[in-house]
Structure 1
């Protein structure tokens, strides 16, 4: 998995490759020069095909926050997920997936309640948890899951 990570530009749609080891750096689009990835920022993904591409191409663990805008606990946990993303910018990619935008995402990953967080390594799910929790609890869960 040494090819890095491919993220779409929100401005022009161009796919941009972030080399391994550079996830903690700011990435700019090769076409329009807009920021594609801010270090420590949660990456919003709306489509199932984009999510699958990221999971398959990531050379770091991926934490996904499955959420919906109408969900109060989802909105409550969002700042906690952002804290985790900022603290682990160089070693974990944190994604935010709105399950209302593309229902295929929720179906493919068996999401039955939200908020649900799933942790992936090497394209495979290694752990899952549901409910709102503080950043410290998310980090503890993530650390334990990755230690297995």
Structure 2
């Protein structure tokens, strides 16, 4: 399975049965799974979306957004629960306007799920952890 390193952003091939063994990146030797959201930018976004075989939940957010700040600990909790099945990522739209424009982000927070390099689902607005987990389950059946 292809996994992109959250530190150096290089793709790694990891056998599916080794995902639970907390593997390291072959290039930078950092952990491939951190059990927390990773920050993506205009420069690193495509590397993860196009090269990861894991689905990726992306939170498009802004520092000034109250609901976005409420979602931060919820996303931390989700990331720790689904770490080897789903990558959780964050994109700060004020710092990465190209991505906000490319994905037509009109309200924040906006959560989008990518799989196989394509967006497969989107949800705008804040939600509880249980609502988010239910939504992810329905999207990733």
* CA distances 1:89-112 after superposition (whole Å, capped 9, x unpaired): 111011111111120010111101
Find the counterpart in structure 2 of residue 89 from structure 1.
83
Number of aligned residue pairs: give it. 140
Which SS does the other structure have where 2:140 is aligned? helix
Tell me if structure 2 keeps the 8 A contact 1:62–1:120: yes
Decide whether the 8 Å contact of 1:5 with 1:20 is kept in 2: no
What CA RMSD, in Å, does the superposition of the two structures yield over aligned residues? 2.2
5 Å matches for 1:1-148?
A: 2=1, 4-7=2-5, 9=7, 13=8, 15=10, 17=12, 19-21=14-16, 24-28=20-24, 33-35=29-31, 37-38=33-34, 40-47=35-42, 49-147=43-141
| Partner deviation per Cα, 1:53-104 (whole Å, 9 max, x = no partner) | 1111111111001111111110101111111111111110111111111200
User: Which consecutive unaligned segments of at least 5 residues does structure 1 have?
Assistant: none
Change (3 A) 1:32 1:94: closer
Residues 122 and 14 of structure 1, relative CA distance in 2, 3 Å threshold: closer
Unaligned runs of 5+ in 2: none
Q: If the length of structure 1 is used for normalisation, what is the TM-score?
A: 0.81
Answer yes or no: is the 8 Å Cα contact 1:5–1:19 preserved in 2: yes
The TM-score normalised by the length of structure 2 is 0.85
